[in-house]
Chains A and B, each alone.
Chain A
Amino acid sequence: AQSVSQHNHHVILSEAASLELGCNYSYGGTVNLFWYVQYPGQHLQLLLKYFSGDPLVKGIKGFEAEFIKSKFSFNLRKPSVQWSDTAEYFCAVNAGYGQNFVFGPGTRLSVLP
């Protein structure tokens, strides 16, 4: 069965620091990859997605992610975080052409002002 792991449970950064959140998945075939964000008390919103093509994808609010197929990774990055980026971040994988999404356990990001 496919699985998704996220490297960090809780990340604490100061404003303006750079961010990288790790995500690895276990599936050898075609994948669609997603990063979702959940702000406190809110539902999940899509940050960015990868289906095919350029492995570096840009999303909303200055976030980007790089798909490295050989490493089964899809790490999320942002050059300079803001206090408003405090949230929980979920990596998700949709393997093949099925509809059975698998989410990672999430990484909580706390940005200190």
Chain B
Amino acid sequence: NAGVTQTPKFQVLKTGQSMTLQCAQDMNHNSMYWYRQDPGMGLRLIYYSASEGTTDKGEVPNGYNVSRLNKREFSLRLESAAPSQTSVYFCASSEIRSSYEQYFGPGTRLTVT
């Protein structure tokens, strides 16, 4: 099992450009999450998907959109990147059977210039 995978690992964007971060899990989990990690602020939830076909906003959703493509995949899109979106982005998945213990991907380091 690969667990949670994310692509790309690194990305540099110019202000105003768009991109999609991809995430996939092979653990048959129902729930998936997108976080951003900034120094001194821990992880902040951007969006989550409780199950296929549903998505909900987290703490910091502005400037982002998500798509739960199927049970395995959950993508995060930046329509018009801003320097404030420079961060490390983590995808995670979980299942109610394990009381929502979360499994994390390796992260995407995004720089917006």
Residue of A nearest to B30 (CB): A99
Is there a chain A Cβ closer than 8 Å to B42's Cβ?
yes
Q: Among A36, A44, A51, A104, which residue has its beta carbon within 8 angstroms of that of B99?
A: A51
Q: Which residues of B are found within 8 Å of A43, using beta-carbon distances?
A: 90, 104-107
Which residue numbers of A lie inside 8 Å of B, CB to CB? 4, 9, 32, 34, 36, 42-46, 49, 51, 90, 92, 94, 99-106
Q: Judging by beta carbons under 8 Å apart, are A104 and B42 in contact?
A: yes
| Size bin of chain B's contact surface | 20 to 34
The docked-state distance in angstroms from the alpha carbon of A68 to that of B10 is 41
> Is B48 part of the binding interface, using a Cβ–Cβ cutoff of 8 Å?
yes
Q: With A43-B106, A44-B92, A101-B102 given, can you name 4 additional A-B contacts, CB distance below 8 Å? A: A49-B101, A94-B99, A99-B100, A100-B45
Interface pair A32/B100, CB less than 8 Å apart:
yes
B53 to chain A, nearest CB (A): 15
Q: Does A94 contact B104, Cβ atoms closer than 8 Å?
A: no
On whether the beta carbons of A99 and B50 are closer than 8 Å, the reply is yes
Report if B25 contacts A (CB, 8 A).
Answer: no
A42 proximity list for chain B (CB < 8 A): 106
Nearest Cβ on chain A to B79's Cβ, whole angstroms: 24
Measured between C-beta atoms, what is the minimum distance from A15 to chain B in Å?
A: 26
From B42, B48, B99, contact of A105 by CB (8 A)? B42
